Structure 1
């Protein structure tokens, strides 16, 4: 009987010690886990503060400069107007008695001074044409007529403005397209060429573009575009 009691007592002691070890292990794990969570929260707070600080210090212009440096693209500083009416934009990096060197998006370009009309800074004014108001769509048996207006919201004259209409079917396949030049103001270029297709800043002009639909094709929607040139 005494021997049995001793065995039971020993088993009880072992059980209690094992339970204490488990409790201690759980407490240690909980302490470590809690410490890890607190560290993560602290790191997240510090990270948010750093991101906010970067956002405050970084302006859109700085981002643009970083992109230009990353892509190794030149920042436009000059516009070269050639005697034939062509325009070259880039950075003037070198000039001699007979020529200038312009850094463009596609590389360095040497231009003879005898071919240059003049050089202006980056503040060179540009034209910008947009569709102004709704476009009326008139559907006939074999054609669709599109009538609307365009406006020059830019700061200089736009030359040879034209509207392009592309008609597609329900499967997004091109059915037909057409282009119409918009008649506007009369202008004589330095080359002597005359045109009636120019639009001045803030001016609004009407257009009409007729697209003929092939027989058996069913139009579903259309895409419109407006293009123009800029000459001296």
Structure 2
């Protein structure tokens, strides 16, 4: 009975198996594991099989990470026995819009910063945690002040704390005289690091948001 309940919970809450939450432009959300990605598309393993999604249809990718000591119980035999259905011959998702040319033009001449791969997490002997990863601008315009906001869930009652880190990109001097090294030219990549000290306290998981500005 416990195993059946756990299996049911896996379908009700896909985050017990998959941590990636992909939000699409048409308003839908897909939970899965990114098995391949490039500048044009994503290939996800999901509970119903594999999906291929155009990169320009993705609004945001959220990594819902749950620490090991807070994960819900899923019997080992269920995890070992589960395997996704075989890869079907899928067509790339297509979505209609009343103004296709306007949408494509907006994508071409605007910045679009995405996470490349996964966010790495390391803990030192003092209990401090370091997150690091790489951001790429796959858009057609320079992105300025590119940053990653980490939202940490402190407990199940909803308490959160946000920490922000800027990427290490290229230098740019703005009209105001401000100089920043957090800009990404089209096609460029930059790394980011977030240091979380031990006195920050424990957390049960986190999500992240990539944000940037666009200036002339």
| TM-score, reference length from structure 1 | 0.44
The structure, 1 or 2, with the larger RCO (C-alpha pairs under 8 Å, 6+ apart) is: 2
The structure richer in strand per residue is 2
Q: Which has the larger radius of gyration?
A: 1
